Amino acid sequence: MSELRIIVATHKPYRMPEGSCYLPLQVGAFGKPSLGPEYRRDDEGENISARNSSWCELTGLYWAWKNLRADALGLVHYRRLFRGAKGVATEAEFAALLHQADLILPRPRNYFIETTRSQYVHAHHAEDLDATRAVIDARCPDYLAAFDRVMASTRGHRFNMFVMTRPLLDGYCTWLFDVLFEVERRLDISSYSAYDARVFGFLAERLLDVWVVRNGIRHLELPVLHLESQHWPRKIAAFIMRKLGGGRCGKAGAWVKGEGTSAG
């Protein structure tokens, strides 16, 4: 591996990790002022930056896929990074891991008494998953068994975080965006809240595992370093309320749903 690039998706100025492998990227940059000369923009070159309100950090992933030529590529967030032996994971640590496997993922989240599907339905819209399954059935039915297996699992890799070799990235992005562009065409989100409209970012979190399972990708896992509070009391309360049939209490006391991807 001669060159590694890990984009750090952000929509605001933030302290970025040190190391030449990390590339700060302003996501959703279309029509917005620059965050500064140290940030690349996801509206340069071939891009889907204008879709950021619904695609979240995936606009950054699409930009990196189409415009960067590194031998290995990764995606992290301004407030969520991979943890190494002494804080933020270094290029040397990633390189060593990529000699052992082709893909690095965050440690999975375990919902214990929820499946991936039931957690999503309690937090978002069941129609999102139904439309995605229908698209997979129509366009790549060999992925259907993996989709159903992932939906029935209580564990999953979240946050749309990874580092992978370039050949894998090309295969993953080709499949992922083909599926999601068709889901976007079929799914009516005109009545969704601004939060729920981030649907394609939410779906991609689940689809990464579908792709890994279907293709038997050997991977290693690293813990996630959270740079901001995780608000666990609020999340636990939200989980209980969802199980009781309610929503999630937002900052202003309004009931909203679920949990979000981070770059927005």
pLDDT of residue 1: 55
Per-residue pLDDT for 246 more than 90?
no
State the Cα angle at 207 between 88 and 135, rounded to 5°: 155
pTM of the predicted protein model: 0.89
CB atoms within 10 A of CB 182: 17
Alpha helices in the chain (DSSP H): 52-55, 58-67, 91-98, 116-123, 126-139, 144-152, 166-186, 199-215, 232-243
pLDDT of residue 230: 52
Query: Per this entry, what is the length of the chain?
Result: 264
Average pLDDT over residues 105-132: 97
| Residue 89 exposure: Cα atoms within 13 Å on the Cβ side | 30
Per-residue pLDDT for 255 more than 80?
no
State the Cα angle at 171 between 166 and 172, rounded to 5°: 95
Q: What is the DSSP string of 60-116?
A: HHHHHHHH---SEEEEEETTEEEEETTEEPPHHHHHHHHTT-SEEEEPPEE-SSS-H
Per-residue pLDDT for 102 more than 80?
yes
CA dihedral 35, 37, 40, 43 (to 10 degrees): 60
Average pLDDT over residues 60-66: 98
Quick check: 189 and 196 in contact, CB under 8 A?
yes
Q: How confident is the model at residue 228 (pLDDT cuts 50, 70, 90)?
A: confident
Beta-strand relationship, 162-165 and 72-77: antiparallel
Quick check: 189 and 197 in contact, CB under 8 A?
yes
Quick check: 222 and 163 in contact, CB under 8 A?
no
pLDDT of residue 251: 30
List residues bridging with 99 in a β-sheet. Answer: none
H/E/C letters for each residue in 215-228? HCCCEEEECEEECC
Per-residue pLDDT for 240 more than 60?
no
Flag the least confident range among 71-80, 189-198, 238-247. 238-247
pLDDT tens-digit series, residues 74-85: 999 999 999 999
Quick check: 11 and 28 in contact, CB under 8 A?
yes
Q: How confident is the model at residue 254 (pLDDT cuts 50, 70, 90)?
A: very low
pLDDT tens-digit series, residues 145-185: 999 999 999 999 999 999 999 999 999 999 999 999 999 99
pLDDT tens-digit series, residues 111-124: 999 999 999 999 99
Q: What percent of the chain has pLDDT over 90?
A: 85
- Mean predicted lDDT score pLDDT of the chain: 90
Domain ranges of the chain: 4-228, 233-259
| Residue 141 exposure: Cα atoms within 13 Å on the Cβ side | 2
Per-residue pLDDT for 17 more than 70?
yes
pLDDT of residue 241: 53
pLDDT of residue 258: 38
pLDDT of residue 104: 98
pLDDT of residue 195: 97
Per-residue pLDDT for 264 more than 70?
no
Instruction: Enter the tokens of residue 155.
Output: 């564990």
The CATH architecture that domain 4-228 belongs to is: Alpha-Beta Complex (3.90)
